[in-house]
Amino acid sequence: MKKDESALISHQRFSRRLFVKGLALGGVLSTMPRLLYANTNDTRLGSAPVLSGQEINLVIAETPVNFTGVTRMATTVNGSIPAPTLRLREGDEVTIRVTNRLSVSTSIHWHGIILPYQMDGVPGISFRGIEPGETFEYRFTLKQSGTYWYHSHSGFQEMTGMYGALIVEPREGESIQADQDHVIQLSDWTDEDPMSAFSKLKVQSDAYNFNQPVVGEFLQDASTLGTSGALEKRKMWNQMRMNPTDLADLSATTFTYLMNGMTPAGNWNGLFNKGERVRLRFINGSSNSFYDVRIPGLSLTVVQADGQNVKPVRVDEFRFGPGETYDVLVDPQDDAYTIFAQSMDRSGYASGTLSVRPGLVAPVPELDPVEWLAMTDMMGAMDHSAMKGMDHSAMKPAIDHSAMKGMDHSTMKGMNDSAMKPAMDHSAMKGMDHSAMKGMDHSAMKGMDHSAMGHNMETNPLETPSQTVRHASTEYGPSVDMRVDTPRTNLDDPGIGLRNNGRRVLTLADLRSVTGVLDDDRVPTREIELHLTGNMERYSWSIDGLEFGQSTPVSLHHGERVRVILQNDTMMTHPMHLHGMWSDLESAEGDLLVRRHTISVQPAQRVSFLTTPHDFGRWAWHCHLLFHMDAGMFREVVVS
């Protein structure tokens, strides 16, 4: 086994120290879960073997794993979970041969890599898939650098083990200086057949939610808020038949959360020497789990998002969804730290240890309490008609003040802006409940510059994203359980469960691409508005109320600069991944912020990004929560 691993690890461009450490880690890992079943065909777990060079061979097969005491078959690449880490070099043309030893068709998608569409690996869109026994040759030139990943785009294979890191080293040398470099891939494992889990959600969509409101909570609320207050708090939820703790479709009830293929008990261990600066490449390769990541005792300097360098920003914690990556730098001083990644629904966590030598541990934090989704997650920013009829004393606990703060950022600040005029909804303002918005800056309102409004009427309205909500005609049917008329556009909300938690949490508003990344400053020539939709009760997910099978492609013109507005008309956060081109996130004021390949859109949020399709072909565009994608929150894009 060890021999195989060392053969897989490339000697080129790899420090001796890292090489040795890789072996040592392999040795530690091979004695752990392996004791349960000493079988040479077992899946290799832990830090993945590294493959590099311009020619790479990958073999897809079923191999056994045992995360829970039960042996199950996983779908693996070269027999490891995570799949081998590919270390490639910017500018190189690479040939990757993928051989299918499964009994079903497979594929590999290179997540975030800009390449010809035939190489993108989505069966039925980019190519026909890789049939059993077949070898498919991927060949493309790397036009970018950074941390990316790859995974199967066939069925639920990604969920059963097919995910690995893809690191592209900058051709001109690394601008981010670090002494140690660890890939940390988070994922989720279920012993269930994924399709059977999906079928269960079709029957009972809250089957995996064990944080549902109970009678005792109501009685508690009744004693603090009064009976009417407790009823008010639940009124909207009950009327709309929605669950305030609907934060994840699948929970720790079925999932074992993994860090580099290791359970919390297996405790993945990354090493450093005192005084070293450590780069951690976090990849959320999970099927259905948002993670909230922190390392108690260390602040994290985020230097890269989705493979693209960002201006360093120091935080204590970040949330990321399936598909997203963040590179962070840490300067550890102690001997051991826990890398703690709790699932967004607070049902469980993945964890590992960063330490100066193997075997050390640091305390593992408790899971944070489960928080109810706030009114802001349901109604967006300015739904005052909703507030009018409500008991404000009861509203207080439900209202999220950080979201309120965000409100005056986006809307109030923007009022000095010309383009706010069409968006400013005076009828909505009338009903505004000022008592509930202590944090609102009234002076800013007073200072509203009316002359500027008139003056700027001549500017191109496409300089800023439209704030006029336009629901699709197909959003009025049984496939949609919520339409948001007053979405929030602020990006400085870390999201449910992270607001005011006493830690500095990364938000989209904190991210700024470094100079040179955002290379297209043209004003878009048109806007595309799409709404993320679903019906939780029926467990259906869609875009504009149309599941994939009912949809038509979004047609983009080669080389055009186009704005995409995504409005989330659901109560879940959706990591939206657009293949084949970048998503340049902008603020509500139309300022370009950061280049992403996956943008998580929060409930009742409206975000916009600009894109320039440089590559012809058909591309996939979907929510990267695997079950949402498979349920139909998926669009095809044609670039012609």
Partner 1 sequence: MKPVTFVKRLKPLTVIAALVMSTSPLLAYAAGTDANTAKAQGGEAPADARDPHAYSDGYTLEKGPYALGGPRQLKLADEHKFWAILGDRVEYDADSETGVFELQGWYGTTFDRLTIKLEGDIADGRLEESQTDILWSHASSTYFDTQFGIRLDQYDEGTDRQWLAAGLQGLAPYWFELDMTAYLGESGRTAFSLGAEYELLFTQQLVLQPSAELNFYGQDDIENGLGSGLTDAALGVRLRYEITRQFAPYIGVEWTSKVGQTADIARAANESVRDTRYVVGVKFWF
Q: Are 510 and 409 in contact (CB under 8 A)?
A: no
Residue 202 touches partner 1, criterion: CB under 8 A:
yes
In angstroms, what is the minimal distance from the CB of 202 to partner 1?
5
DSSP secondary structure of 550-598: G--PEEE-TT--EEEEEEE-SSS-EEEEETTS-EEEE-TT--EEEEESE
Q: What are phi and psi of 25, to 5 degrees?
A: -60, -45
Among 62, 475, 510, 586, binds partner 1 (CB under 8 A): 475
Whole-number Å distance between alpha carbons of 80 and 598: 26
Residues numbered 296-315 forming contacts with partner 1, rule: CB under 8 A: none
Interface region with partner 1, contact rule CB under 8 A, candidates 134-142, 290-298, 361-369, 625-633: 625-633
Nearer to partner 1, 281 or 628 (CB): 628
Q: Are 63 and 74 in contact (CB under 8 A)?
A: yes
Whole-number Å distance between alpha carbons of 151 and 173: 27
In angstroms, what is the minimal distance from the CB of 137 to partner 1?
18
One symbol per residue from 228 to 257: x for binding partner 1 (CB under 8 A), - otherwise; what is it?
--------x-xxxx----------------
Nearer to partner 1, 39 or 118 (CB): 118
Nearer to partner 1, 351 or 542 (CB): 542
Tokens of 352: 């590992």
Residue 339 touches partner 1, criterion: CB under 8 A:
no
One symbol per residue from 207 to 226: x for binding partner 1 (CB under 8 A), - otherwise; what is it?
xx-xxxxxxx----------
Among 482, 505, 585, 623, binds partner 1 (CB under 8 A): 482
Q: Using the CB atoms, write b or e for 350-371: b if 16+ within 10 Å.
A: bbbbbbeeeeeebeeeebeebb
Count the Cβ atoms, other than its own, within 10 Å of residue 433.
14
One symbol per residue from 483 to 522: x for binding partner 1 (CB under 8 A), - otherwise; what is it?
xxx-------------------------------------
Nearer to partner 1, 54 or 228 (CB): 228
Nearest to 478 by CA among 252, 241, 317: 241
Total residues contacting partner 1 by CB under 8 A comes to 79
Residues numbered 127-166 forming contacts with partner 1, rule: CB under 8 A: 127-129
In angstroms, what is the minimal distance from the CB of 315 to partner 1?
33
Q: Are 311 and 287 in contact (CB under 8 A)?
A: no
Count the Cβ atoms, other than its own, within 10 Å of residue 441.
14
Among 69, 172, 203, 224, binds partner 1 (CB under 8 A): 203
In angstroms, what is the minimal distance from the CB of 634 to partner 1?
6
DSSP secondary structure of 151-217: E--STTGGGGT-EEEEEEE-TT--SS--SEEEEEEEEEEESS-HHHHHHHHHH-TTTT------HHH
Nearest to 202 by CA among 444, 448, 535: 535
Residues numbered 528-567 forming contacts with partner 1, rule: CB under 8 A: 528-529, 535, 537-540, 542, 544-555
Nearer to partner 1, 236 or 445 (CB): 236
Residues numbered 72-131 forming contacts with partner 1, rule: CB under 8 A: 117, 122-125, 127-129
Residue 474 touches partner 1, criterion: CB under 8 A:
yes
